[in-house]
Structure formats: C-alpha cells, structure tokens
Amino acid sequence: MKATKGKKATKQITEQDSAKLKELFVDGLKDIYWAEKNLAKALTKMSKNATSEELKAAFEQHNTETEEHAARLEQIFEQIGEKAQAKKCAAMEGLIEEANEIIESTDKGTMVRDCGLIMAAQKVEHYEIASYGTLRNIARTLGHNEVADLLQQTLDQEGETDHKLTELAEAYVNEEASVE
C-alpha cells in the first residue's frame, strides 16, 4: 500500500514541479549546512560542560562526525552544481539555545546536568534525522542517487548517535537505581 502511494506521487511530478522541488531541496541543504556548522561549536561547549567522561567522549566523537557532515554537504553542493551556502536555521538556533539554557540552569558536575544535556542533544539529533530523511527522499525523487547515498551516510550516523545517547541515559538510570 505504502509503495503504491510513493509511486503515484513520483509519477505526478511534472517538469515544472521538479524545478521547484530542486529549489526546495537546495534550500533544505543550506538550512542543514548552517545547522551542522553551528552545531560543531555547540558540541564543543556541551562536551566541556558534561559531567561524565562517557558523555564528554560521546559529544567529542559526534563533533568530529558533525564536521564530516558539513564536509559531506559541501560535496553534495558541488555534485548538484550549487554553491555551498549556509542559511540560518531558526530551529537549530533554538535547539542550541535550549542546550545553553540547560547549562545555565543546572549545577556543574552533576548527573542532572548530563541528563539535561542528553535531552538537548537528542532533540538536535531528531531534528537532523527528520531533515536528512526528507532530503534523501527528495534527492531520490530528483534522480540524484549518489547524493541520496551521501545523505543516507549522514542519516545513519545521526541515528547511531541518538541510540548511543539513549544508552547513556539508561545507564544513568541503572546507576541511580543501584545506589538506592
């Protein structure tokens, strides 16, 4: 049923639609490019402020990946013949602001701060997962299959990061439970 639906939608895309869809696609790439670039700075701050070594390491690792994501986007811009340009992403700006608020409102060296940072980071990952999933679908619709594969690579890393953060959060719960 789902497959039929998808097919139908693809068939309905006219040449004119395709040009507009490409525009939407490029705009989406610019938005996530801004997000990745700004996220790299935010993750450095989050790592510095995290309490546990595991969370610090997770943020640092994802910081490296985030730089890869920005570089991958530059490669994508080149492949589709567009200039790599960042366009301010209001959603990511807000999510980064939330992370900063958590640092301000929690005490240094506490697990409460780590739980807050994990919450903020997972919101970021979910935003990225939604963005990359849609962009990958549009790339396929436009026939940019290599670009779709590149977007999938980033999408996989965002998903892995999200799972890792869930595992860290669960480990905290278990630790807390064993103390009591």
Q: Which residues bind Fe ion (CB under 5 A)?
A: 66, 69, 128, 158
**Position closest to Fe ion via CB:** 69
Compare residues 22 and 123 and give the one whose CB is closer to Fe ion. 123
b/e code 67-103 from CB counts within 10 Å (16+ = b): eebbebbeebbeeeeeeeebeebeebeebbeebeebb
Smallest gap, in angstroms, from Cβ of residue 62 to Fe ion? 6
Compare residues 114 and 158 and give the one whose CB is closer to Fe ion. 158
Q: Are 26 and 80 in contact (CB under 8 A)?
A: yes
Smallest gap, in angstroms, from Cβ of residue 68 to Fe ion? 8
Compare residues 93 and 112 and give the one whose CB is closer to Fe ion. 93
Give the relative orientation of helices 90-105 and 111-141 as an angle to the nearest 10 degrees: 170
Compare residues 3 and 164 and give the one whose CB is closer to Fe ion. 164
Smallest gap, in angstroms, from Cβ of residue 37 to Fe ion? 10
Query: How far apart (Å, rounded) are the C-alpha atoms in residues 142 and 136?
Result: 10
